[in-house]
Amino acid sequence: MKVLVACEYSGTVRDAFIRRGHDAMSCDLLPTDVPGPHYQGDVSDIINDGWDLMIAHPPCTYLCSSGLHWNKRRPERAAQTEQALQFVQLLLDANIPKIALENPIGCISTRIRKPDQTVQPWQYGHPESKATCLWLKGLHLLQATDILPLPENGRWDNQTASGQNKLTPSPDRWKIRSQTYQGIANAMAEQWGRL
């Protein structure tokens, strides 16, 4: 298949599809972190280039629940949320037969439509928690591949005692938090790559 991985600079999902023999390319405004087929620019430049499948990871800064409370305190953020929702709609409406759009829990669910499913890293072999919603078109639900039990202490490796993410503030925290877990990327390539 010809696969577009939109809004991905890490190459994680792109390379999972390439390993399975697909013609995959990532696209982002940022350069790719690892060598491989990558279009650095606006996804709308290439979205109509005859893709069979698109997996899209639109930036969640103005969409996720954890940041939406700032919209009332900083009105310019509310306008950025509207722009982010328009971008999500552009991706979902693309003329591509199979689409998966992923994002954390946020306003896509209430403003566009509810996700088809929510997955967790611990369902794919990673001892961590990060609820990730999937909006699907022409694709079946992603099946768990390696469900891990909750550790005895009642929290995952990336959680503090109160359940918050352990990752300390840093200039690249957003980048680390946004990366797709390898187990989820592998499941996408294996399961959706067979269609």
Output the DSSP codes for 132-176: EEEEEES-PPPPPSBPPPPPTTSS-TTB-TTS-B-PPP-TTHHHH
**Token pair 């694709």: residue:** 139
Distance between CA atoms of residues 137 and 18, nearest Å: 21
The DSSP line for 70-131 is HHHH-HHHHHHHHHHHHHHHHHHTSS-SEEEEEE-SBTHHHHT---SEEE-GGGBT-S----
Contact 129, 121 (CB under 8 A): yes
pLDDT at 73: 76
Contact 127, 157 (CB under 8 A): yes
Distance between CA atoms of residues 127 and 179, nearest Å: 15
Contact 32, 9 (CB under 8 A): yes
**Token pair 């979902």: residue:** 92
- Tokens representing 193? 């790559």
> At residue 138, does pLDDT exceed 90?
yes
Q: What is the mean pLDDT of residues 26-33?
A: 96
Contact 74, 115 (CB under 8 A): no
Give me the phi and psi of 137, to 5 degrees please: -135, 120
Q: What is the mean pLDDT of residues 164-182?
A: 73
Q: What is the mean pLDDT of residues 110-122?
A: 96
- Residues 64-97: tens digit of each pLDDT: 766 666 667 777 877 887 898 999 999 999 999 9
- Tokens representing 174? 């957003």
pLDDT at 180: 92
CATH class for the domain made up of 2-192: alpha beta
